[in-house]
Amino acid sequence: MHRSAKSSAFGFKLWSALHKDEEQTLAYDVTSISTYAEIQMAEYGYNRDQETLPQLNIGMLYGTKTALPLCYEIYSGSIVDKAFFPYMMELGELVGLNDLFYIMDRGFLTLDNLSFMAQNQLNFLMAAPKSQKIYRQALIEATAVIRHSRYHIPQTSCYGLSKVIQINELPYTLHIYLNTSSAADEEARIYQHVDRLEEELQNQMKPISITRYNKYYDVTRNASPIEEYERNHEKITEMIELAGMFCLLSNTQDKSAEVALRLYGRRDMVEKAFQNLKNSIDYDRFLTHTEKTTEGEAFVAFLSLILWSDLTNHGKNSGEKSINRLVKQMGTIKRTDYGSGCSLLQPLTRKQKDILSAFAIEPEEFLQTILHFEV
């Protein structure tokens, strides 16, 4: 990717400069795109589409206020997300996206990345895995108090509180939440899973390893057959108490649990952008065979996503949430050419005028453009 790196960074810098003043937060995420071609960077790795194909990864920084992609990078499919994270943060700084607040999922939370962000004074908010000891213990301690009225977040089914924790001798804010809507469903899934495991134990369906049962059962065996098992009610009860709970980690202390939750909800934008890239814009495969054409196709995909995102943003103002329906509405505009330079244009519908208004386009100006457009 060295041939285009300099020009790409310059282009991203110009593009980002148009939007930086509007932005306060950036969402960062990664997706993978599979390929049948033998491209040097295409390697096997964690495939988000569950495909057994080599892939390339795409890291993207997405503006949460403008709802537009701002820069991206493609890299080897075997490089894990958390390892590529520092590069993308440095790319963001290089193209002028500095002094902003990054929002990310738990896949980027490692001690090395926390250290990198501390050294580079990058402010962030990211999900924290409740399976790790430090976060799990904080969640367990919060179960005794979190369901208090003072912690309820208005207009949601969530309770939230914040506490300061120490990681590598540095202070971080851990926002802890209980989602009562998802808690009941999660509790039901836990017991369904425990019941399935017990049925396996009764039938000795998986006698070779007992590891899968240790989370919920105390299992005893001398040889291959399992001799005894008993539900570990303390472990199961702890799982139930943590049902519906999750936490977000930040290195800033100026945001409440309510504000942090609403900010984290913006990360959904970049996930939807990747879904649109693959499903609506049909970039679910790289069909290229050289590094140069792969770079070109990735850039065209980035431009397509900008246009699609902008259409989505303005389309909402017209009342048309589906881009496909919006395009279909505008696609019914009809111009009839009668020869000798004579053309007639049918009147716009009310819906078409609403769409044009959402894009700040004057209907009469639009009609004149179409009328004089040379086919």
Please count the structural domains in the chain. 2
Checking if the pLDDT of 188 tops 90, the result is: yes
Residues 15, 103 within the same domain = yes
Domain assignment of residue 80, yes or no: yes
Residues 16, 77 within the same domain = yes
Q: What is the tens place of the pLDDT at every residue in 36-90?
A: 877 888 888 887 777 888 899 999 999 998 899 999 999 998 999 899 999 999 9
Domain assignment of residue 348, yes or no: yes
Q: What is the tens place of the pLDDT at every residue in 275-307?
A: 888 888 888 888 888 888 888 888 999 999 999
Domain assignment of residue 363, yes or no: yes
pLDDT of residue 5: 55
Distance separating alpha carbons of residues 225 and 30, to the nearest angstrom:
44
Checking if the pLDDT of 223 tops 60, the result is: no
Q: What is the tens place of the pLDDT at every residue in 334-343?
A: 888 777 667 7
Contacts of 315 (CB under 8 A, 6+ apart): 321, 322, 323, 326, 355, 358
Domain assignment of residue 165, yes or no: no
Residues 260, 367 within the same domain = no
Residues 50, 111 within the same domain = yes
Checking if the pLDDT of 24 tops 90, the result is: no
pLDDT band at 208 (very low <50, low <70, confident <90, very high): low
Look up the CATH number of the domain holding residue 87. Answer: 3.30.420
Contact between 348 and 334 under an 8 Å Cβ cutoff? The reply is: no
Domain assignment of residue 12, yes or no: yes
Strands (E), 153-300: 158-167, 170-179, 217-220, 228-231, 245-250, 285-286
Residues 9, 109 within the same domain = yes
pLDDT of residue 207: 52
Residues 268, 367 within the same domain = no
The predicted model scores a pTM of 0.81
Distance of alpha carbon 35 from its chain centroid, rounded? 22
Residues 349, 284 within the same domain = no
Q: Which residues constitute the domain of residue 342?
A: 323-371
